[in-house]
């Protein structure tokens, strides 16, 4: 480590303008690695070291930021100067004219029981070669891959009134994919659509059985080639957790983001059918629906102690007994509305400013077993693993697709179907929630896009199997 | 750091690193950087404003057929950056020792250097804030102003140097009347003209008048529809998602699968190319290969060619045409047709004028069946006159219908769209598209 790096915290503190109404330096170092084996060939390994700092300055009702990868004293001074200039330029033109931001002190480190560094590169290659091979046991598998992606993220938030939040987060993304083809019919099967990811070390691989999953994935991809198209009609629908993750994300998470409700995203990600007056009374779902913002789940993707504005994070019910309770709004959105919220002001990295995001957003488990949910279906489909997602800009009219469906007849699973899709309207879909299982699978979505400038962020979702009644279900082209 | 300074910095850093190679090692380096201003607006006031300055160097350290790749942020401090590059190279050597030979490794050995400068003059960003606020008047404007310099550079230990720099601005906004009723527009380019920006904002305000009428709620069904260039762009983005990638074709994952398995065709009026010469993207890729001025992808409705990355070239035994690993187009262009653009409402007659589509995805990828939503500036038209805005509708249809057997025609002018995407960094991609008139488009929700 060079002298510049050793003294970085002191230099960041020295650069902060003491007389600003609020000023912060948010330094982020993200080290990543990717390893993939595709069709028996080890793809080029890659590593990444992304590092920089964002200064935010609030003065006289104006606010600005400047982010730079130039960590020299001159670079830091230039960034503070730029952020201050933006604050001056926006005074009197800003949507928000005072800062509610805190000067918090604390830290967080991802719990790791089996550090990934103990798995050598050679061991990782061997693991992926074995998994890739197991994916391709059938002649109709035309493409396959097994991969491991890791991120170690260190962030340090310093403020001009003594705030200091240090967090270290370790994330692991294991993935498997098998592609089967016959003529004009191509089918993909994956390891939970990449959603079986989380914080931790090697133990992330064992949570969902990565080492043993490959053969089954390959077999199911081939089975889908032979399967009939998903039936069309209005019927009961059971969603597996790896489809629920997407359903929660798109039709609960995004609509409850307070910055969308306030209109910030109307030019890009969209608005929301939810309005401020609905909180506390609106029947979002049936009384079986309980949704939490929970940054305390060990090993879940977006567990943390503070958001990127330095707001302490705690478990909060967003929907309780089906009634809408609390929006996904960070400290700034809370100040803009006078509403309670959560610590969800997050940035994708040092080069983007925090905005309201999802973190860990979970549907709490119910009391039925999965067998009981299935037995309660006269005719319907169980869908597994998201493959397609589309929803309107108010987060209401949606259409989602899954990799694999299982038709349920007279309370029993009868056969596999391909290209299962369903469509609905968020405002009524969740009210048709007719069963919640007692299982609880902790997952992630690694590609949530939002914001101007654009940001991709990694979020956590956990869910049981859930059953919905009266859903419009259909298949693909014949 | 100015573009020229960044270019010199890359040269010097790669020369320094090349002097530290051992044996037969070859070093490939790719620099990506920008100095950008971003101003975000809501209710015609500033929501967030700031500057981002970033540089990242990516290295591929090769010895024979073994190699490893890595990237690191650059600080601009020579000693620290040399330390980081040396540390990265050391780590890559350690990894390379463990990894097997790569049968698909291919990199440029032509030492063909190049330069592409797309220089412009953006306004001082604080002035842009004033101009936007003044132009919006009392309208409810939401959007993003992004401006500044982007650069990409390639350098290797064989002496090849390629440089791309672009100075541009992109003001992307919507004006909102109520709830989801809004118009969408953009002013993007190289030379900022306050009068042109004001005219575009004034046009957006006039469009709002039509949105004030009571919206039509249309039942699901098939409707004659005109897709504006912005709406057609969303369809093209879906085709670009594996549609032209050689790897996607060979692994049967392309949404255009039926073109290769069943000989399916689009309408003969549809010709699509990767038009690097007409776009604003770099004319080289990360492994140092140059991109040709144009690659024909669809020719008069028939599949014509692939985008081929160096890895795919090696894997499938064909020549690369300078595509990056993802094999996505960066400057896609569709040839215009013969429908008079100025009379498009008359050509539509009665049906839907679709200003924008939103959030598309495949409902059956193998069949290129796609779903998505209508969004900004979408109207019901009767006898060539705009009647009312519509409440959003979901479509679910295939490109083989929309650009195939149900395509009435394409407009006689094509619009250039500079991509406003800013994920990780400001995009250098663009599209040039006409509008499309469709006999029937299927709406489902």
Q: Which residues of B touch A390 (CB under 8 A)?
A: 359-361, 371-373, 394
Assess contact for A37 and A145: CB atoms under 8 A: yes
Cis before B94 (ω within 30): no
Does A390 contact B at CB distance below 8 Å? yes
φ, ψ for residue A326, nearest 5 deg: -135, 135
β-sheet bridge partners, residue A94 = B46
Q: List the domain boundaries for chain A.
A: 3-226, 233-475
Nearest to A266 among B176, B359, B366 (CB): B176
For A281-302, letters b (16+ CB in 10 Å) and e give ebbbbbebbbbbbbbebebbbb
Lowest mean pLDDT among A16-30, A144-158, B112-126, B316-330: B112-126
Q: Tokens for B9?
A: 């910095």
H or E segment at B336? Answer: none
Give the whole-angstrom CA distance, residue A363 versus residue A385: 17
Does A179 contact B at CB distance below 8 Å? yes
Residue for token pair 């604003």: B280
How far does the CA of residue A372 sit from the closest CA of chain B (Å)?
Answer: 30
Q: Which residues of B touch A54 (CB under 8 A)?
A: 50
H or E segment at B241? Answer: none
pTM of the model: 0.97
Give the whole-angstrom CA distance, residue A270 versus residue A288: 28
pLDDT category of residue B1 using cuts at 50, 70 and 90: low
Q: Which residues of B touch A83 (CB under 8 A)?
A: 50-51
Contact at CB, A419 and B68, closer than 8 angstroms: no
Instruction: Name the 3-class secondary structure at A478.
Output: coil
H or E segment at B442? Answer: strand B436-443
Nearest to B55 among A69, A90, A96 (CB): A69
How many other CB atoms are found less than 10 A from the CB of residue B259? 20
Compute the radius of gyration of chain B from its Cα atoms: 24
Report ipTM (2 d.p.): 0.96
Give the whole-angstrom CA distance, residue B374 versus residue A279: 28
Contact at CB, A70 and B53, closer than 8 angstroms: yes
Q: Which residues of A touch B325 (CB under 8 A)?
A: none
Give the per-residue pLDDT at B3.
Answer: 62
Mutation site, A23, A40, A44, interface B, largest B CB count within 10 A: A44
φ, ψ for residue B198, nearest 5 deg: -65, -40
Does A266 contact B at CB distance below 8 Å? yes
How far does the CA of residue B278 sit from the closest CA of chain A (Å)?
Answer: 26
Model pLDDT for residues B178-212, shown as the tens digit of each residue: 877 899 999 998 888 888 888 888 888 888 888 88
Contact at CB, A271 and B133, closer than 8 angstroms: no
How many other CB atoms are found less than 10 A from the CB of residue B119? 12
Residue A267's contacts (CB-CB under 8 Å, 6 or more residues apart) are A452, B142, B143, B144, B172, B173, B174, B184
Nearest to A351 among B42, B52, B125 (CB): B52
Q: Is the pLDDT at B51 greater than 70, yes or no?
A: yes
Give the whole-angstrom CA distance, residue A213 versus residue A10: 48
Does A70 contact B at CB distance below 8 Å? yes
How many other CB atoms are found less than 10 A from the CB of residue A5? 16
Can you say how many angstroms the Cα of residue B182 is from the centroid of all Cα atoms in its chain?
23
Instruction: Name the 3-class secondary structure at B353.
Output: strand
The DSSP code for B291 is: P
User: What is the bridge-based pairing of β-strands B66-73 and B114-118?
Assistant: unpaired
How far does the CA of residue A48 sit from the closest CA of chain B (Å)?
Answer: 5
Nearest to A41 among B51, B103, B396 (CB): B103
Q: Helices in B99-193 by DSSP H: which ranges?
A: 125-136
How many other CB atoms are found less than 10 A from the CB of residue B179? 13
Residue A392's contacts (CB-CB under 8 Å, 6 or more residues apart) are A270, A398, B180, B358, B359, B373, B375, B392, B394
Residue A37's contacts (CB-CB under 8 Å, 6 or more residues apart) are A43, A125, A128, A129, A131, A132, A145, A146, A147
On the CB side of A12, CA atoms within 13 Å amount to: 28
How many other CB atoms are found less than 10 A from the CB of residue A339? 16
Q: How far is CA A289 from CA A286, A384, A437, in A?
A: 6, 20, 11
The DSSP code for A449 is: E
How far does the CA of residue B367 sit from the closest CA of chain A (Å)?
Answer: 6
Q: Is the pLDDT at B176 greater than 70, yes or no?
A: yes
Contact at CB, B144 and A453, closer than 8 angstroms: yes
Give the whole-angstrom CA distance, residue B146 versus residue A13: 29
Contact at CB, B257 and A453, closer than 8 angstroms: no
Q: Which residues of A touch B143 (CB under 8 A)?
A: 267, 452
Give the whole-angstrom CA distance, residue A365 versus residue A157: 35
Assess contact for A467 and A432: CB atoms under 8 A: no
Give the per-residue pLDDT at A1.
Answer: 66
Contact at CB, B445 and A399, closer than 8 angstroms: yes
Q: Which residues of A touch B129 (CB under 8 A)?
A: 89-90, 93
How far does the CA of residue B51 sit from the closest CA of chain A (Å)?
Answer: 5
Assess contact for A310 and A102: CB atoms under 8 A: yes
Residues 28 to 67 of A: which have CB under 8 A from any B CB? 41-52, 54, 63-67
Q: Which residues of B touch A394 (CB under 8 A)?
A: 179-180, 392
Low-confidence stretches of chain A (pLDDT beneath 70): 1
Q: Tokens for A237?
A: 């629908």
Nearest to B80 among A4, A86, A121 (CB): A4
- Taking each continuous run of H as one helix and of E as one strand, the counts in chain B are 10, 22
Assess contact for A465 and A365: CB atoms under 8 A: no
Give the per-residue pLDDT at B2.
Answer: 59
Nearest to A90 among B46, B92, B367 (CB): B46
Model pLDDT for residues B221-259, shown as the tens digit of each residue: 999 999 999 999 999 999 999 999 999 999 999 999 999
How far does the CA of residue B338 sit from the closest CA of chain A (Å)?
Answer: 32
Beta strands in A104-204 (DSSP E): 105-109, 141-159, 164-182, 185-190, 198-199
Mutation site, B6, B41, B73, B81, interface A, largest A CB count within 10 A: B73
Mutation site, A39, A47, A53, A71, interface B, largest B CB count within 10 A: A47
Residue A294's contacts (CB-CB under 8 Å, 6 or more residues apart) are A300, A315, A316, A360, A361, A362, A462
Interface contacts (A, B; CB < 8 Å): 276
Q: Is the pLDDT at B19 greater than 60, yes or no?
A: yes
SS3 content of chain B, % helix, strand, coil (to 5): 25, 40, 35
Q: Which residues of A touch B261 (CB under 8 A)?
A: 183-184
Residue for token pair 């340090």: A156
How far does the CA of residue B154 sit from the closest CA of chain A (Å)?
Answer: 18
The CATH architecture to which A3-226 belongs is: 2-Layer Sandwich (3.30)
Nearest to B91 among A47, A75, A391 (CB): A47
Does A184 contact B at CB distance below 8 Å? yes
Mutation site, A392, A397, A473, interface B, largest B CB count within 10 A: A392
Give the whole-angstrom CA distance, residue A69 versus residue B58: 15
φ, ψ for residue B125, nearest 5 deg: -60, -35
Contact at CB, B95 and A121, closer than 8 angstroms: yes
Assess contact for A83 and A142: CB atoms under 8 A: no
Give the whole-angstrom CA distance, residue B187 versus residue B112: 35
Q: Which residues of A touch B34 (CB under 8 A)?
A: none
Q: How far is CA A386 from CA A25, A383, B43, B103, in A?
A: 38, 8, 36, 33
Give the whole-angstrom CA distance, residue B233 versus residue B416: 10
Give the per-residue pLDDT at B90.
Answer: 98
Contact at CB, B52 and A67, closer than 8 angstroms: yes
Give the whole-angstrom CA distance, residue A357 versus residue B425: 20
Q: Which residues of A touch B95 (CB under 8 A)?
A: 45, 47, 121
Q: Which residues of B touch A94 (CB under 8 A)?
A: 45-47
Give the whole-angstrom CA distance, residue B188 versus residue B170: 4
Give the per-residue pLDDT at B129.
Answer: 87
Residue B395's contacts (CB-CB under 8 Å, 6 or more residues apart) are B357, B370, B371, B372, B373, B374, B441, B442, B443, B444
Nearest to A44 among B56, B68, B257 (CB): B68
First to last CA, chain B: 51
First to last CA, chain A: 61
Nearest to B252 among A96, A142, A454 (CB): A142
Give the whole-angstrom CA distance, residue A228 versus residue A419: 9
Angle CA(B137)–CA(B142)–CA(B148) in degrees, nearest 5? 100
Q: How far is CA A146 from CA A58, A123, A128, in A?
A: 47, 14, 6
């Amino acid at each position: 480590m060079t002298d510049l790096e050793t003294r970085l915290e002191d230099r960041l503190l020295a650069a902060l303008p003491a007389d600003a109404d609020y000023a912060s330096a948010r330094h982020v170092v993200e080290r990543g690695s990717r390893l993939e084996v595709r069709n028996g060939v080890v793809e080029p390994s890659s590593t990444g070291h992304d590092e920089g700092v964002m200064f935010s300055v609030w003065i006289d009702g104006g606010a600005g930021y400047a982010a730079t990868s130039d960590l020299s004293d001159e670079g830091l001074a230039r960034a503070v100067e730029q952020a201050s200039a933006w604050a001056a330029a926006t005074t009197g033109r800003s949507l928000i004219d005072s800062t509610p931001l805190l000067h918090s002190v604390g830290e967080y480190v991802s719990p790791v029981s089996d550090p990934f560094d103990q798995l050598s590169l050679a061991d990782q290659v061997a693991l992926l070669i074995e998994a890739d091979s197991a994916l391709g046991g059938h002649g109709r598998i035309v493409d396959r891959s097994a991969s491991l992606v890791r991120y170690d993220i260190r962030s340090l938030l310093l403020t001009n009134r003594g705030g200091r939040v240090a967090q270290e987060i370790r994330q692991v993304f294991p993935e498997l994919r098998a592609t089967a083809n016959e003529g004009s019919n191509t089918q993909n099967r994956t390891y939970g659509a990449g959603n079986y990811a989380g914080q931790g070390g090697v133990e992330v691989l064992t949570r969902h059985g990565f080492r043993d999953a490959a053969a089954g994935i390959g077999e199911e991809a081939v089975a889908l080639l032979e399967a009939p198209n998903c039936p069309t009609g209005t019927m009961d629908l059971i969603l597996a957790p790896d489809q629920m993750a997407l359903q929660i994300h798109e039709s609960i998470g995004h609509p409850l983001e307070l910055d969308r409700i306030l209109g910030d995203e109307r030019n890009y990600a969209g608005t929301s059918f939810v309005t401020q007056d609905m909180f506390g009374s609106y029947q979002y779902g049936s009384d079986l629906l309980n949704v939490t913002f929970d940054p305390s789940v060990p090993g879940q993707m977006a567990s943390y102690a503070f958001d990127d504005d330095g707001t302490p994070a705690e478990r909060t019910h967003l929907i309780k007994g089906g009634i809408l309770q609390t929006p996904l709004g960070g400290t700034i959105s809370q100040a803009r509305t006078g509403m309670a919220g959560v610590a969800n002001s997050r940035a994708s990295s040092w080069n983007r400013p925090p905005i309201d995001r999802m973190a860990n957003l979970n549907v709490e488990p119910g009391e039925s077993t999965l067998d009981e949910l299935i037995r309660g279906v006269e005719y319907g489909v169980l869908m597994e693993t998201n493959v397609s997602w589309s929803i309107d800009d108010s987060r209401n009219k949606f259409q989602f697709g899954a990799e694999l469906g299982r038709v349920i007849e007279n309370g029993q699973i009868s056969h596999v179907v391909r290209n299962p899709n369903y469509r609905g309207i968020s405002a009524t879909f969740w009210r048709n929630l007719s069963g919640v299982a007692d299982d609880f699978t902790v997952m992630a979505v690694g590609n949530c896009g939002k914001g101007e400038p654009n940001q991709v962020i990694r979020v956590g979702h956990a869910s049981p199997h859930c059953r919905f009644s009266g859903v419009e279900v259909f298949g693909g082209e014949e | 750091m100015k573009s020229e300074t960044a270019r010199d910095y890359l040269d010097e850093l790669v020369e320094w690193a090349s002097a530290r190679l051992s044996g037969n090692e070859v070093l490939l380096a790719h620099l990506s950087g920008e100095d950008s201003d971003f101003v975000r607006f809501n209710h015609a006031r500033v929501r967030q404003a700031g500057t981002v300055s970033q540089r990242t160097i990516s290295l591929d350290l090769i010895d024979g057929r073994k190699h490893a790749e890595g990237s690191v942020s650059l600080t601009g401090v020579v000693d620290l950056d040399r330390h980081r590059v040396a540390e990265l190279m050391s780590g890559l050597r350690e990894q390379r020792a463990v990894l097997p030979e790569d049968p698909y490794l291919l990199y440029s050995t032509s030492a063909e250097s190049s330069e592409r400068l797309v220089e412009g003059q953006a306004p001082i960003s604080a002035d842009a804030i004033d101009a936007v606020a003044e132009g919006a008047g009392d309208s409810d404007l939401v959007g993003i102003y992004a401006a500044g310099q982007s650069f990409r550079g390639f350098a290797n230990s064989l002496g090849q140097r390629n440089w791309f720099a672009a100075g541009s601005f992109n003001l992307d906004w919507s004006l909102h009347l109520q709830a989801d009723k809004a118009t969408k527009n953009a002013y993007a380019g190289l030379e900022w003209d306050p009068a042109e920006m004001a005219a575009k904002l004034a046009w957006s305000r006039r469009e709002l008048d039509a949105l004030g009428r009571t919206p039509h709620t249309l039942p699901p069904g098939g409707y004659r529809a005109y897709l504006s260039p912005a709406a057609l762009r969303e369809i093209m983005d879906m085709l670009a998602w594996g549609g032209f990638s050689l790897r996607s074709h060979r692994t049967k994952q392309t949404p255009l699968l039926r073109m290769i398995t069943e000989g399916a065709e689009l309408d003969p009026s549809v010709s699509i190319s990767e038009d690097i010469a007409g776009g604003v993207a770099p004319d080289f890729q990360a492994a140092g290969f140059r991109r040709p001025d144009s690659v024909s992808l669809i020719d008069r409705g028939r599949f014509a060619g692939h985008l081929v990355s160096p890895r795919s070239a090696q894997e499938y035994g064909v020549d690369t045409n300078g595509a990056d690993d993802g094999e996505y187009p960066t400057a896609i262009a569709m040839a215009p047709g013969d429908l008079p653009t100025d009379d498009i409402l008359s050509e539509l007659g009665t049906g839907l004028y679709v200003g924008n589509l939103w959030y598309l995805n495949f409902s059956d990828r193998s069949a290129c069946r796609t779903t998505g939503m209508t969004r900004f500036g979408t109207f019901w038209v009767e006898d060539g006159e705009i009647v009312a805005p519509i409440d959003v509708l979901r479509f679910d249809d295939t490109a083989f219908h929309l650009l195939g057997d149900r395509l009435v025609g394409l407009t006689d002018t094509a619009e250039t769209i500079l991509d406003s995407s800013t994920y990780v960094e400001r995009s250098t991609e663009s599209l040039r598209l006409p509008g499309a008139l469709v006999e029937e488009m299927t709406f489902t929700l």
